């Protein structure tokens, strides 16, 4: 869907996505999945803290990658999958590979007669990634075919997609097995990849700013009271500062900084420039989000700028556009935002976080990896220290 041109096929996919997976009702119905996965993540961290002799660094990037993938797989495919079920590199690295390849500058695209040489070996890597994802997605589909259509109450998204392939539509609108595979791919990459990147950057900024952690924890203590083991989704609307932290993180580190390439549909003139139809349009939201004429000290991470500010990240305000805007804007923004907020709230409600190996905040590598999405180049490691008042409740 993300890469298909505007037309009947895209409209159909978008409708399937928005009505069958990402409607308000569907998102709400999967709340228990998101909560149980998040709570299992913090339980696991508590267990580690109990058993480890000394405070051990946790690979936060991997942790949040697993979390978002488990959630998305359970919501869309009915169960979670172990890392090895996709590849020995695991989901996070495989998804990152797709993001890298999706944004890489391929010389052969611009000098076609060089294409066959595949000088940068990008095509070979694409084929390998395709093979890995295809085998995984085939497995998901075969499992669903084997278990047949369940009754309406239990049918998951993949069952519904497979049922659509049996409808007798005309050729253009026909949902084929290939279409189903493409949609599953979009869920994996579009859904898990972006939320993981958003979470690892939010945690990175938080580690750099202890005063922000303190403010988040004060808010959590005030809103939740003393007897809460976990933060539930129903608590999130009251956590105004936490919401501002997530927005600020999406402003400073938009997971898809150049959006997905757009295409001009008609000839038009913008600010005196003639733009021909079919022109590829790259929207630099990274630059928009950090525009110094809009944002004071634009490069500084300062969540307070979103407190009591009517400017939101949903695509209505062109000052900050982490989810794009308009017809091709992200259909998963409510789900993505909720996942990030819930995970962050629980990670900070249950733990204080320290940088490992005696590192100072200034030592933390904040370099982004180039690609369609911009994850951290280096995985983020940090030490979770249980917060005693929450720990005592377990
Ligand atoms: C924090 C999380 C997320 C961020 C930052 C994000 C960001 C984006 C961005 C920037 C775009 C391109 C918009 C444009 O080109 O104008 C996009 C498109 C898309 N996103 Fe997301 N996304 C997130 C979560 C999700 C989730 C959870 C799903 C689904 C499970 C999803 C599915 C998609 C799809 C299918 C498209 C293509 C839409 C189209 O072409 O019509 N995203 N997303």
- Give the CATH number of the domain where residue 180 resides: 1.10.630.10
Tell whether 59 is covered by a domain: yes
Tell whether 168 is covered by a domain: yes
Counting ligand 1 atoms within 8 A of each CB, the residue from 98, 195, 327, 332 with the most, and so the one to mutate, is 332
Tell whether 280 is covered by a domain: yes
Q: What is the pLDDT of residue 389?
A: 86
Tell whether 1 is covered by a domain: no
Q: What is the pLDDT of residue 56?
A: 87
Q: What ranges make up the beta strands (E) of 142-296?
A: 262-263, 268-270, 273-275, 280-281
Tell me: pLDDT of 24 over 60. Answer: yes
**Taking all residues of the chain, what is their mean pLDDT, rounded to a whole number?**
92
Atom of ligand 1 nearest to the CA of 324: 16
Report the separation in Å between the CA atom of 255 and the middle of ligand 1, taken as the mean of its atom positions. 10
Report the separation in Å between the CA atom of 267 and the middle of ligand 1, taken as the mean of its atom positions. 27
Residue whose CA is closest, atom 42 of ligand 1? 332
**What percent of the chain is modeled with pLDDT above 90?**
78
Report the separation in Å between the CA atom of 98 and the middle of ligand 1, taken as the mean of its atom positions. 15
Q: What is the pLDDT of residue 149?
A: 60
Report the separation in Å between the CA atom of 323 and the middle of ligand 1, taken as the mean of its atom positions. 6
Contact 20, 157 (CB under 8 A): yes
Report the separation in Å between the CA atom of 324 and the middle of ligand 1, taken as the mean of its atom positions. 8
Residue whose CA is closest, atom 20 of ligand 1? 330
Q: What is the pLDDT of residue 122?
A: 96
86: helix, coil or strand?
coil
Residue whose CA is closest, atom 19 of ligand 1? 330
Q: Give the integer Cα–Cα distance in Å for 349 and 33.
A: 19
Tell me: pLDDT of 242 over 90. Answer: yes
Q: Give the integer Cα–Cα distance in Å for 379 and 199.
A: 12
Residue whose CA is closest, atom 27 of ligand 1? 191
Average pLDDT over residues 354-374: 91
Q: What is the pLDDT of residue 53?
A: 63
Q: What is the pLDDT of residue 173?
A: 75
Kindly write down the DSSP assignment for every residue of 280-329, as one continuous string.
Answer: EE---HHHHHT-TTTSTTTTS--GGGGTT----SSSS-TT--TT--GGGS
Residue whose CA is closest, atom 17 of ligand 1? 330
Average pLDDT over residues 291-309: 97
Tell whether 2 is covered by a domain: no
Q: Give the integer Cα–Cα distance in Å for 74 and 29.
A: 12
Counting ligand 1 atoms within 8 A of each CB, the residue from 68, 194, 280, 340 with the most, and so the one to mutate, is 194
Question: Within 6 Å (CB) of ligand 1, which residues are found?
Answer: 1-2, 14, 17, 186-187, 190-191, 194-195, 198, 255-256, 259-260, 322-324, 328-332, 335-336, 340
Q: What is the pLDDT of residue 150?
A: 58
Does residue 225 or residue 255 have the better pLDDT? 255
Report the separation in Å between the CA atom of 50 and the middle of ligand 1, taken as the mean of its atom positions. 38
Residue whose CA is closest, atom 37 of ligand 1? 2
Tell whether 3 is covered by a domain: no
Q: What is the pLDDT of residue 88?
A: 87
Give the tokens for residue 96. Answer: 């990152």
The vertex-136 CA angle with 36 and 96, nearest 5°, equals 75
Q: What is the pLDDT of residue 172?
A: 66
Question: At what angle are helices 60-77 and 31-51 packed, to 10 degrees?
Answer: 150
Report the separation in Å between the CA atom of 302 and the middle of ligand 1, taken as the mean of its atom positions. 25
Tell me: pLDDT of 318 over 90. Answer: yes
Q: Give the integer Cα–Cα distance in Å for 108 and 206.
A: 41
Q: What is the pLDDT of residue 335?
A: 96
Report the separation in Å between the CA atom of 333 and the middle of ligand 1, taken as the mean of its atom positions. 7
Average pLDDT over residues 231-246: 98
Atom of ligand 1 nearest to the CA of 328: 41
Atom of ligand 1 nearest to the CA of 259: 15
Report the separation in Å between the CA atom of 2 and the middle of ligand 1, taken as the mean of its atom positions. 8
Among 285, 284, 293, 282, which residue's Cα sits nearest to residue 251?
Answer: 285
Average pLDDT over residues 131-149: 90
Atom of ligand 1 nearest to the CA of 285: 10
pLDDT class of 10 with cuts at 50, 70, 90: very high
Range with the poorest average pLDDT among 49-53, 215-219, 259-263, 275-279: 49-53
Q: What is the pLDDT of residue 151?
A: 54
Tell me: pLDDT of 278 over 60. Answer: yes
Q: How many domains does the chain have?
A: 1
Average pLDDT over residues 7-25: 92
Average pLDDT over residues 359-364: 91
Report the separation in Å between the CA atom of 114 and the middle of ligand 1, taken as the mean of its atom positions. 33
Q: What contacts 70, CB < 8 A, 6 or more positions away?
A: 37, 80
Tell me: pLDDT of 54 over 70. Answer: no
| Interval 148-201: pLDDT, tens | 665 555 678 999 899 889 887 766 678 899 999 999 999 989 888 999 999 999
Q: What is the pLDDT of residue 350?
A: 96
Report the separation in Å between the CA atom of 193 and the middle of ligand 1, taken as the mean of its atom positions. 10
Token pair 């927005």 in the structure block, residue: 247
Counting ligand 1 atoms within 8 A of each CB, the residue from 30, 70, 190, 334 with the most, and so the one to mutate, is 190
Give the tokens for residue 120. Answer: 């940068």
In which domain, by residue range, is 161 found?
8-391
Tell whether 50 is covered by a domain: yes
**What percent of the chain is modeled with pLDDT above 70?**
97
Average pLDDT over residues 355-378: 92
């Amino acid at each position: 869907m993300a890469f298909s041109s505007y037309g009947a096929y895209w409209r159909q996919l978008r409708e399937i996505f928005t009505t069958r997976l990402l409607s308000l009702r569907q998102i709400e119905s999967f709340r228990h999945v998101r909560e149980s996965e998040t709570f299992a993540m913090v339980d696991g961290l508590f267990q580690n803290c109990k058993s480890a002799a000394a405070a051990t660094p946790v690979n936060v990037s991997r942790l949040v990658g697993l979390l978002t993938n488990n959630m998305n797989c359970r919501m869309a495919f009915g169960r979670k999958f172990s890392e090895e079920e996709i590849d020995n590199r695991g989901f996070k690295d495989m998804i990152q590979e797709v993001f890298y390849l999706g944004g890489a500058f391929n010389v052969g695209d611009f000098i076609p007669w060089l294409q066959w040489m595949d000088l940068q070996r990008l095509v070979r890597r694409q084929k390998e990634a395709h093979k890995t994802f295809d085998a995984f997605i085939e497995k998901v589909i075969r499992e669903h075919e084997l278990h047949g259509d369940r009754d309406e109450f239990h049918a998951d998204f993949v069952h519904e997609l497979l049922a659509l392939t049996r409808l007798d539509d005309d050729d253009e609108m026909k949902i084929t097995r290939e279409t189903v595979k493409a949609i599953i791919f979009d869920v994996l990459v579009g859904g898990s990849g972006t939320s993981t990147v958003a979470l690892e950057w939010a945690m990175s900024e938080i580690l750099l700013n202890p005063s922000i952690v303190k403010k988040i924890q004060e808010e959590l203590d005030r809103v939740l009271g003393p007897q809460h083991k976990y933060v539930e989704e129903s608590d999130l609307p009251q956590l105004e500062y936490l919401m501002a932290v997530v927005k600020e993180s999406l402003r400073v580190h938009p997971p898809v900084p150049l959006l997905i390439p757009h295409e001009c549909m008609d000839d038009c003139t913008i600010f005196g420039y003639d733009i021909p139809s079919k022109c590829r349009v790259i929207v630099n939201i990274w630059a928009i989000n950090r525009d110094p004429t809009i944002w004071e000290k634009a490069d500084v991470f300062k969540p307070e700028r979103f407190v009591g500010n009517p400017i939101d990240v949903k695509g209505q305000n062109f000052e900050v556009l982490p989810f794009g805007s308009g017809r091709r804007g992200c259909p998963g923004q409510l789900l993505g935002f909720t996942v990030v907020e819930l995970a962050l709230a629980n990670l900070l409600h249950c733990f204080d976080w320290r940088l490992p190996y005696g590192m100072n905040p200034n030592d933390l590598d904040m370099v982004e990896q180039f690609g369609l999405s911009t994850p951290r180049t280096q995985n983020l490691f940090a030490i979770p220290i249980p917060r005693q008042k929450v720990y005592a409740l377990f």
